[in-house]
Each structure stands twice: as C-alpha cells, then as structure tokens.
Amino acid sequence: MIRAVIFDLGGVYFTNGTTLAIRKFSKVLGVPEKKLLQLFNPMDGYALEYRTGRMSRDDFWGNVTRALNVKYSDYEKLENIWKNSYRPLVGMQSIVNQVRKRYKVALLSGNVPEVAEYMKKKYRLSKHFDVCVFSFEVGFNKNHPKMFNDVLKKLNVRADECLFIDDKKTYTETARKLGIRTVKFSSVRELKKRLRQIGVL
C-alpha cells in the first residue's frame, strides 16, 4: 500500500532549469552546449562534487569559469540565470495538493545549495511538502541508494510504501532496485493519467 509520494524537483515539479540555463549560457557566452553539458553534468565532475556538498560554491565557479575562459566575476550573472531558469510546471502544484490529502509528499532533488535555497525561499517549498531532501545535505545524488534511504527515513515509510516520480530513467531505476514503485515523468497530463491508474489520484 502506498503511503508516500516522492517528487523530483527539476523536470517534474519545476522546469528542467539546468537544461534551460545551459541553452542561455551558450548564447550569452558563445560556448557550445556540448561543452557546457559536460561541465554541468549532475552525474560527474565538478557538478557532481558541488551537488553532493563536496565542493564549495567558489571552487565550483572557479573551475567552471576557468574551463570556459571567462571572468570569475561573471559567475553571479550565470548563477542568476541558473536560478531563474527554474519555473513551476503548470498543473503540478494542483497534483501535489491533491496527493497530499491522502499521502505524505516529499521533494527529492539533486540540486546545488544556492539554487535550492533560492527556490525553497521563493516558492515556499516546505509549505507544500512534508519533507524536502537535497543531495548536498546527504552527500550523494539520486543515482545512489543513500539518497533514497534518507528520504524514506524522514518520511518514516518502507521502500515498498513509496511512489517516486522523476524525469530521468537513471534515477527511477535506482529507486526501483530498492523496491520503490516509480513513474517516469514525461508531462503533467501523462502524470495525471498514471496516478489515476495507480489509484493515487
């Protein structure tokens, strides 16, 4: 029996802000998107270290600006573009509100500290979710079981009592191997359909 539903942030509850930011960075800096994707890859390198709390903000942007051959002072402009690339997906808040009437709801995100704190404050995430867990707090991203074990502990539920929604197969596969039921997100419309089929809506 499902007792809790876990939502991803970027690409599910919000737009995929990193992908959108990379497109904007490419235009602003004149750098190929391919190079930017390597630098901001959440599964590897500087970005993974930053997302899991193992690299500071200054070190991350220092490495990125050197790799892109741009002034370090430009990082605040880039960071603001990144923050503002996250926008709530129309219809998702309504889904969360409906689900929360019957189940615990959690937000699970692999985002970086400054972007996460910005969104927590601007969109009052703690008001809409019973639990919010970020990778930099846990020390691992969503491709690691410890990220899921942490949110399960905070929700006080077993893996088989949870449903996890994410737009990336890598992360839904990690959850599925732990016994968590999963839905791969493609659109708000499709999510509503799947949740109704499962009996959550």
Q: pLDDT tens digit string along 12-66?
A: 999 999 999 999 999 999 999 999 999 999 888 999 999 999 999 999 999 999 9
Instruction: Name 107's bridge partners.
Output: 7, 132
Q: Is 133 exposed, middle or buried (0-12, 13-18, 19+ CB in 10 A)?
A: buried
Domain ranges of the chain: 4-15+87-198, 17-84
Q: What is the pTM of this model?
A: 0.94
Question: At residue 73, does pLDDT exceed 90?
Answer: no
> Does position 141 have pLDDT exceeding 90, yes or no?
yes
Residue 155 pLDDT: 97
pLDDT, tens digit, for every residue of 146-194?
Answer: 999 999 999 999 999 999 999 999 999 999 999 999 999 999 999 999 9
Average pLDDT of the segment spanning 57-83? 91
For range 89-109, the mean pLDDT: 97
Cα(46)–Cα(54) distance, rounded to whole angstroms?
Answer: 9
The matching CATH number, chosen from 3.40.50.1000, 3.10.310.10, 3.40.50.300, 3.30.43.10, for 4-15+87-198 is 3.40.50.1000
What local confidence, expressed as pLDDT, does residue 96 receive?
98
Please give the average per-residue pLDDT across 87-91, as a whole number.
Answer: 95
* pLDDT at residue 113 in the model: 94
Q: Counting beta carbons within 10 angstroms of the beta carbon of residue 27, is it exposed (0 to 12), middle (13 to 18) or buried (19 or more)?
A: exposed
74: confidence class by pLDDT, cuts 50, 70, 90: confident
CB atoms within 10 A of CB 185: 21
Handedness of CA 93, 170, 120, 76 (dihedral sign): negative
The count of other CB atoms within 10 Å of the CB of residue 85 is 21
71 has a pLDDT exceeding 90: no
